[in-house]
């Protein structure tokens, strides 16, 4: 992960390096069983070089705590590591150029559950794992199983926490979806690190 960090800090593969203040690599436990993946840093994340630290980050923290976990128990990052100007959506080209970093992070963490946050990260992760994509409003909170020779994991698409900042109904939707995340997390052994040893062996090292 340290190699990835140093590569991202010096990366100029797409134009976003010109306007970023700080790239956001990601943070959390390298032994995390749940990985939360958003789309790209925003204003506050760019200032601090940390993922989900603004208002949306506060919502994400509350949601993580609502299922009995702390930020330190999970790993949080984005598909695109530098902030797109004016918080515009990342372009397909930017996503493609930045995606080797998230792919390597997934291989290092080897999560048992990937929660995508928002439509862009959902679209990227679904494509990566060959899952049938649909509008986030139709697939959020559903459980998708990825099973092949190399890994065995669940993908649970979620709305981006930013949608809940000023919208109580959307927050309720997210709270309900996080209950599903918790159910699956507990079914896989919860915080008991020994329970996932065998499952992790299924990953290529
Ligand atoms: S967004 Fe990704 S590919 Fe583009 S400069 Fe930043 S780290 Fe490099």
Handedness of CA 49, 85, 123, 164 (dihedral sign): positive
Query: Is the minimum distance from the CB of 40 to ligand 1 under 6 angstroms?
Result: no
Query: Is the minimum distance from the CB of 154 to ligand 1 under 6 angstroms?
Result: no
Is 129 contained in some domain? yes
Is 141 contained in some domain? yes
Atom 2 of ligand 1, nearest CA residue: 98
SS (H, E, C) the chain: CHHHHHHHHCCCCCHHHHCCCCCCCCEECCCCCEEEEECCCCHHHHHHCCCCCCHHHHHHHHHHHHCCCCHHHCEEEECCCCCCHHHCCCCHHHHHHHHHHHHHHHHHHCCCEEEEECHHHHHHHHHHCCCCCCCHHHHCCCCEEEECCCCEEEEEEECCHHHHCCCHHHHHHHHHHHHHHHHHHHHCCCCCHHHHHHHHCCCCC
Exposure string of 47-57, with b = 16+ CB inside 10 Å and e = fewer, is eebbbbbbebb
With cut-offs at 50, 70 and 90, classify the pLDDT of residue 198. Answer: very low
Is 196 in contact with 181 (CB distance < 8 Å)?
A: no
Query: Is the minimum distance from the CB of 83 to ligand 1 under 6 angstroms?
Result: no
Is 78 contained in some domain? yes
Is 117 contained in some domain? yes
Supply the mean pLDDT for the chain: 90
Beta bridge partners of 147: 152
Q: What is the pLDDT of residue 69?
A: 93
Is 201 contained in some domain? no
CA of 122 to the centre of ligand 1 (A): 19
With cut-offs at 50, 70 and 90, classify the pLDDT of residue 194. Answer: low
Q: What is the pLDDT of residue 193?
A: 57
φ, ψ for residue 76, nearest 5 deg: -125, 130
Query: Is the minimum distance from the CB of 79 to ligand 1 under 6 angstroms?
Result: no
Query: Is the minimum distance from the CB of 88 to ligand 1 under 6 angstroms?
Result: no
CA of 38 to the centre of ligand 1 (A): 15
| Chain centroid to CA 170 | 19
Is 205 contained in some domain? no
**Residue among 9, 18, 23 whose CB has most ligand 1 atoms within 8 A, to mutate:** 23
- Give the gyration radius of the chain's Cα atoms: 16
Q: Are strands 75-78 and 27-28 parallel, antiparallel or unpaired?
A: antiparallel
Atom 3 of ligand 1, nearest CA residue: 98
Q: Is the pLDDT of residue 205 over 90?
A: no
**Residue among 18, 26, 97 whose CB has most ligand 1 atoms within 8 A, to mutate:** 97
Is 198 contained in some domain? no
Domains identified in the chain, total number: 1
Is 197 contained in some domain? no
Q: Is the pLDDT of residue 136 over 80?
A: yes
The full length of the chain comes to 205
* CATH code assigned at 110: 3.40.470.10
Q: Is the pLDDT of residue 120 over 70?
A: yes
**Domain limits for position 81:** 2-188
């Amino acid at each position: 992960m340290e190699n990835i960090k140093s590569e991202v800090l010096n990366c100029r593969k797409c134009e976003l390096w010109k306007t970023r203040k700080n790239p956001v690599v990601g943070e959390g436990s390298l032994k995390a069983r749940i990985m939360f993946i958003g789309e790209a840093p925003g204003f506050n994340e760019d200032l601090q070089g940390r993922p989900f630290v603004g208002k949306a980050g506060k919502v994400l923290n509350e949601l993580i705590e609502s299922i009995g976990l702390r930020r330190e128990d999970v790993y949080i990052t984005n598909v695109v590591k530098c902030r797109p100007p004016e918080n515009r959506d990342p372009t397909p080209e930017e996503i493609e150029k930045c995606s080797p970093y998230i792919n390597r992070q997934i291989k290092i963490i080897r999560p048992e559950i990937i929660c995508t946050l928002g439509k862009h990260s959902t679209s990227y992760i679904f494509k990566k794992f060959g899952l049938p994509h649909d509008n986030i409003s139709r697939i959020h909170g559903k459980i998708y199983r990825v099973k092949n020779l190399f890994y065995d994991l669940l993908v649970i698409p979620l709305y981006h926490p930013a949608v809940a900042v000023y919208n109580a109904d959307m927050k309720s939707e997210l709270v309900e979806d996080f209950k599903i995340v918790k159910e699956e997390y507990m079914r896989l052994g919860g915080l008991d690190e020994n329970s996932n040893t065998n499952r992790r062996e299924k990953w290529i090292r």
